[in-house]
Structure 1
Amino acid sequence: MAEFSRRVFLGGAAMAGLSACANGVGGNGGATIDARVDATRDYLFGRYPGTADLARNAKGVLYMPLVTEAGFGIGGGYGRGALRINDVTVDYYSATRATIGFQIGAQQYAHALFFMTEGALTEFRRGTGWAVGADVRYATPDQGASIGKETTEIDPVVALVFGQSGLIAGATLGGVKYTRIIP
């Protein structure tokens, strides 16, 4: 049992290190994050025009321009982004993801959370930041999909994952921790 625990710890540490390196930790000041959020927002609105209306109706939008995730049995992911209200950055957040289950591969993707009510936005900003879920997912360079729900995807929050690249397959149980940061 001690050997398994050591492997779990070392595997998780390796995944976190890989995820952090791929996201340029240390070089992500507020201006850099804002520039990435602008590019992500523009891509999202250009590729999926209905999302511009969704953002206009939202009380706030959390954009995570780049989340890097890798897993082999145990997985981890990391990314940084910004919460915007009326398209103005009010807070910066990191997203740390941990998963366990059948999985193999690595991927990068962007995601956005649209908070459609003041209550949902307030709850997110004051809450612990955890979202738990179970999913079956895949991503290839040409396409990506996710079948599953997270607690943040229940109305009045709309979650969109887009721009997937990499190769990952699996069925996992995991969680995401959104943490307010000072870049």
Structure 2
Amino acid sequence: MRVLRRAIFAALVGAVLAVSMSVSFASPAHASAAQINADVRATLNNFYASVPGSRELASRAAGVLVFPTVIKAGIGFGGEYGEGVMLSGGRTAGYYNLVSASFGFQLGAQARTIIIMFMTPRALDGFQNKAGWKVGVDGSVALITVGAGGAIDTNSITSPVIGFVLDPKGLMYNLTLEGSKISASILEISLSPLG
């Protein structure tokens, strides 16, 4: 019994350390607005080059929220954190962070990119008028699952909010953003175009 308690305690300490390390590596103190903007530019350029139809879809969106790097880590308990930018009309409309926690079998760390498109002004307003927007509670995100090199049929997408989750090898399948909370960041808003 005592060994089991020690093992549980060690797992909890490890999970807390893993999550705190992932958050500290991606915290606003480490990423400036200029760095996040540069990462968003590179992420979108890669997305447009690797997924045919994505540029057209993004141009039709009222807003595009891009999290270039979301770090997920855990040992039993886990968490994820990322910083991103909301683009509207090709301009920076705000800085945001994404946070979530989880419990279950998990070990290790991974990075992924999340792109969320608000396809209607009403969906974008609903997001922007919340102090903290929780996926699955305040709005749902229809994840688009296209294989690497696959094209998006922009005419068949009817959801007001759609999302893409990418890893270094391309788009990932069967993931959920449910429970992720997206909140405005404390970074200053730069209303310059990302170019």
Using structure 1 for the length normalisation, give the TM-score: 0.76
2:125 is matched with: 122
Given that 2:11 and 2:75 are in contact with CA atoms closer than 8 Å, whether structure 1 keeps it comes out as no
Q: Residues 6 and 72 (structure 1 numbering): CA distance in 2 closer, same or farther, change over 3 Å?
A: closer
3-state DSSP of counterpart to 2:113: strand
What aligned pairs does 1:92-107 form with structure 2 within 5 A after superposition? 92-107=95-110
Q: Deviations over 1:133-168 (max 9, x none)?
A: 9xxxxxxxxxxxxxxxx9333721110001247xxx
Give the number of equivalent residue pairs. 160
| Structure 2 unaligned spans of 5+ | 144-158, 170-174, 188-195
Query: Which of the two has greater strand per residue?
Result: 1
- Find the counterpart in structure 1 of residue 156 from structure 2: none
- 1:61 paired to 2:96: no
- How far apart in 2 are the matches of 1:30 and 1:172? 27
Q: 1:152 is matched with which residue?
A: 141
Report deviation, 1:23.
2.4
Q: 52-61 or 171-180: which moved more?
A: 171-180
Q: Match of 1:161?
A: 165
Query: Pairwise CA RMSD of aligned residues?
Result: 2.9
Q: Tell me which amino acid in the other structure corresponds to 1:74.
A: F
2:89 matched residue in structure 1: 86
Distance 2:67 2:177 in 1: 21
Match of 2:73 in 1: 70
**Matching residue of 2:45:** 42
* Offset, 1:25: 4.2
Distance 1:110 1:151 in 2: 18
Larger Rg: 2
TM-score, structure 2 as length reference = 0.71
Percent identity, please.
31
The aligned residue for residue 113 of structure 2 is: 110
Give yes or no for contact 2:12–2:76 (8 Å, CA) kept in 1. Answer: no
The answer to whether the Cα contact below 8 Å between 2:141 and 2:177 also exists between their aligned partners in 1 is no
How far is 1:102 from its partner? Answer: 2.1
Unaligned runs of 5+ in 1: 134-149, 166-170
Q: Matched residue of 1:129: which SS? A: strand
